[in-house]
Amino acid sequence: MDRHTRRIVGCFLGPRDTLGAYGLWHSLETPYLDALCHTDRLAAYKSVVFGNFHRIGGTQHIERFNATLRARLAHLVRRSLAFSRRQSHLETVIWLLIHQYNASLP
């Protein structure tokens, strides 16, 4: 997420491990690869984001977006109320919400 515009600039749907960190890094657009990257204390990010570009903390904007995702998508709240029979359907719904979110920004 771009901290100034609140636009989602990269996304990876998968586990929070080294493979997921690489997937997130490769989903970023070129101008954002040289930007300052704020992460939580997950050790996998240290192998992907190097040196002076990595900062721990300052993730409240993306945490707020994650809460927005959970509030708008019943698929992410409880398995018994709404679920996707296929992983691809869930990914499609999440991507559509991300595009709608980016389009709604000024």
Residue-wise pLDDT tens digits, 18-55? 898 889 888 888 888 888 888 888 888 888 887 788 88
Q: How confident is the model at residue 104 (pLDDT cuts 50, 70, 90)?
A: very high
Residue of 55, 60, 48, 57 lying closest to 21 (CA atoms):
48
Q: Which region, left, alpha or beta, applies to residue 51 given φ > 0 means left and ψ of -120 to 50 means alpha?
A: left
Phi, psi dihedrals of residue 39, rounded to the nearest 5°: -135, 170
**With a threshold of 0.95, does the pTM exceed it?**
no
